[in-house]
Structure 1
Amino acid sequence: MLILATFVISLDRAIAAVASTSAPVTAKANNNQALDYTQVGDKIRRSLQLNVSSVAESPVQGLLQVMTEKGLFYVSQDGSYFMQGRIFNLDEGMRNETEAALSGARLSGLETFKDNVIEYKADKEKYVVNVFTDITCGYCRKLHNQMAEYNDLGITVRYLAFPRAGLGGQSYHDMVSVWCAANPQKAMDDAKAGSQVAAKNCDSKVAEQYAFGQSMGVNGTPNIVMPDGSVIPGYQPPEQLEEALKAIM
């Protein structure tokens, strides 16, 4: 394995820095003794104020992979060290193990939103892509203006909401209104064309989709999730997207 690390920190030092506001921490395990997964997750929550959704084995012995609302991280099995980086498998042609883990998590997460997307379905569907979008994003509008071309190539597009300004901006409220409209597809068409969005409210899942996007590393739009869970971060012309889809199918 090859690990490319962005940063490594000692969780015990991080805990000490916030000790005045944190609950007492479970005693550190001996060097040869691993904390259980619950203890590791709790320690990260307390020390770094990250919401931990899962803790699991990683491909590297001695490291656990931790999924949080800010992405995938790694932690030593004794809960002492925390790292952001990528793991590549030298024995498997430099396979990106970090991306493989994220791809699986993306597909699982997308399944939970299958009834909350705004879909533009191809008549002769060959491929399905999920696209994190913002109604104010220039390249999102460019992609949307070519929707007929994507559909003609057999590409179904399913939109998830990712208001780039966050949950406090006007685009968030407008996207809620789009998702809650009587005809969400028409509301999306109008919003992408620059028309004013009629205010609506409902259980839209826009906030949940935004949080999911953040946890999967989305930091801009459009962000295209491919059928295998891989990501193309940015606009792709219809023909180029078709070629990328053919390459993985």
Structure 2
Amino acid sequence: MSIKHTAAIACVLASSLAWAGPEDTIKAAVEATLGGGAKVEGVSKTPYLGLYEVRVGGEIIYTDEKANYLLLGEILDAKTRQNITQARQAQLSAINFAELPLELAIKQVRGNGKRVIATFEDPNCGYCKKLAKELQSLNDVTVYTFLTPVLGPDSQKKSEAIWCSLDRQKAWTDWMTANVAPAAQQASCDLSGLQKSAALGEKYRVRGTPTIFLSNGERIPGYVPVAQLDKRMSAVK
């Protein structure tokens, strides 16, 4: 390579570094600090304390403009007492409900079914069973449940049995509310839908079951009492 070409490349690199914003610098610095192949998904300036929001693995951390310090924790508004970090996390973890492949879900309708939620559940999840029992008393709701066997081989086995049942909705309800194992199953069963359902949980970073999504895409990570869920559903416009 000629000296002229080398000089040209050096100029291009210098120009790139000169025009690199603090977001690019922070991204590189945080990834280097965290190590282990950590990938920063986004960096944005916040309107408080001169901090930058850094999104890594679906979580939020904060840093200064030069990434000299990392802040792990939540920021509260002293006047309103609003948990700013929590509100931002809820915004980032929301999904586009309309994009859910509802044909992969077990559908349950109660009353007029006007209110809609989606749940990601494991058949061996104790809190999922508690939720399933309480949902029996919830009126005017349609529940789409995506089988998400994340608790081990037996969860996969039970999910397959429910998926291959002649009546999935009944098999799911009987197992989750009364511990009655699925009996009659289809002679031949295509498990590709179940595999897609499990992959969907990975896509939406479902890290625990149950995970509930309201019709506006808001995520509720974990079990909530049905009375609280009822209020949150009713508040959705």
Matched residues, number: 208
Unmatched 5+ stretches in structure 2: 1-16
* Distance across 1 between alignment mates of 2:29 and 2:182: 44
**Higher percent of residues as strand:** 1
1:205 matches 2:196:
yes
Match of 1:157 among 133, 143, 155: 143
In the other structure, the counterpart of 2:89 is: 102
Deviation at 1:171, TM superposition (A): 0.6
Deviation at 1:81, TM superposition (A): 4.3
Alignment of 1:22-171 (within 5 A): 34-36=22-24, 39-40=27-28, 43=31, 47-50=35-38, 52=40, 54-57=41-44, 59=46, 60=48, 61-68=50-57, 71-76=58-63, 77-91=65-79, 93-108=80-95, 110-115=97-102, 116-150=104-138, 153-165=139-151, 168-171=152-155
On the 8 A contact 1:226/1:232 being kept in 2, the answer is: no
Amino acid at match of 2:24: D
Q: TM-score, normalised by structure 1?
A: 0.62
Aligned-residue CA RMSD (Å): 4.0
* Distance across 1 between alignment mates of 2:215 and 2:222: 14
How many percent of aligned residue pairs carry the same amino acid? 19
Unmatched 5+ stretches in structure 1: 1-28
* Distance across 1 between alignment mates of 2:81 and 2:214: 21
**Higher percent of residues as helix:** 2
Runs ≥4 in structure 1, deviation > 6 angstroms?
none
1:174 matches 2:165:
no
Q: TM-score, normalised by structure 2?
A: 0.64
On the 8 A contact 2:120/2:145 being kept in 1, the answer is: yes
1:236 matches 2:225:
yes
On the 8 A contact 2:43/2:52 being kept in 1, the answer is: no
In the other structure, the counterpart of 2:10 is: none
On the 8 A contact 1:180/1:202 being kept in 2, the answer is: no
- Per-residue CA deviations over 1:131-150 (Å, capped at 9, x if unaligned) read 23221223422332344422
Amino acid at match of 1:142: K
Deviation at 1:100, TM superposition (A): 2.3
